[in-house]
Amino acid sequence: MPLNRRGLLQAGVATAATAALRIGPAHAAQTIRIGVLTDLSGPLRDTTGPGSVAGATLAAHEFVAQNPEIAVEIIAADHQNKPDVGVTIAREWFDRGGVDAITDVGNSAVALGCSTVAAEKNRVLLATSPGLGDLTGKACTPNTVHWTFNTYAIAHTISAAVVARGGRTWFIVAPDYAGGRTLRDTTTAFVEGAGGAVIGSVNYPFPDTRDFSSFLLQAQSSGAKVVAFANGGEDMVNSIKQANEFGLTQSGQQMVVLASNALSIALAGLDAMQGVIVTETFYWDLNDRTRSFRRRVQPLMPVGHFPNSLHAGNYAAVLHYLKAVKAIGVDAAKASGRASVARMKMIPTDDDCFGPGEVRADGRAIHPNYLFQAKTPAQSKGWDDVLNLLATTPTADAFQQLSESACPLVRT
């Protein structure tokens, strides 16, 4: 099947009950079915959503082009950022939908529920967009792989660097769900470890907050040198725009976004986002390989969007999963998600988005992390040219060390 936007739209509106987007010849002997469980209608739609479907679809196309004897089907559904909805879809997919692996997920609470279901049903969860470190910590399972980023990597990459630049006092605004609270607490620990102090924080209701004025007034009155937002998608955009309206940046407070990405910065506009510090694991203009990926996936992306790190994570994780499927055979992969994940841990990772790396014993995929600052409008050469690279955290240091993991798989 050729790459086209129509195919993406068909997958993007699919539910557990609709037909799949089939990739591969009709005569292919065997088929792997992958479900993209994502936010197709809420505040994380731009951050994940159709772009995540695009990343998974491109990975399937490129794999099938090299392995035409194996067909891949992609379906997608909207979890609405509700754990009960997400878990219900996951069970339906595994029990009656013939789904072998679920990718994306986004919301950390949804991810925890789906990780449990994947282990119970012996299927695979590729958690490419939630940040919760517990997915490869105390809540790890032999059926889950965690790709792209986590709360530890974000806090570790950004905290010491910002403190060293003079940002010694912090105020954190975080969404009131598992991932947001964990990112707040992890960032606090790293800020304090670097010699700084978190002098205030607030958790806001998610996903029902659009007006951040009361939280921003608390941040402003705290006098903190750094105001950090542990949110992403529309919430991050609204937070920063309203912070500018309240004059936080103009008064000298440094804006830091802990869970954002280049696409969100571009959509918000550099007039609002200039100077904001962000950590990322992928940027389309980082090197020749990332630029090549962007060119290949762009025809599948929604109009006016370019791929961010979470879209890239879906591409990389699905491609690596399919390589493991080929290595053990489709029958073995469909029979046991644990066997598929075990082989993923044996094969080195290498793709155009993240470069070489590995999937560790705890299920954590490791690769470099990067510290960026949003460009000024004068520095930008186009709407998608939004980030300046400040620093690189190498693969060996980017994530929590395996020896420090609380994952039972490591201890045993």
Contact 342, 142 (CB under 8 A): yes
- Which pLDDT value is given to residue 16? 39
CA angle 221, 226, 232 (to 5 degrees): 105
| pLDDT attached to residue 14 | 38
CATH topology of domain 5-149+286-367: Rossmann fold (3.40.50)
pLDDT at residue 2 in the model: 40
**Domain(s) of CATH 3.40.50.2300: residues in the chain:** 5-149+286-367, 152-280+368-393
pLDDT average per 10 residues of sequence, the chain (412 residues):
39 42 84 96 91 97 96 95 95 96 92 97 97 93 97 90 94 89 92 96 89 95 95 86 91 90 91 92 97 98 96 98 98 98 98 97 97 96 96 94 93 70
The CATH H-level (homologous superfamily) assignment of domain 152-280+368-393 is: Response regulator (3.40.50.2300)
One DSSP character per residue, 223-286 reads T-SEEEE---HHHHHHHHHHHHHTTTTTTTPEEEESS--HHHHHHH-HHHHTT-EEEES--TTS
**Closest alpha carbon to 310 in 276, 348, 282:** 282
The sign of the torsion formed by the CA atoms of 349, 352, 353, 354 equals positive
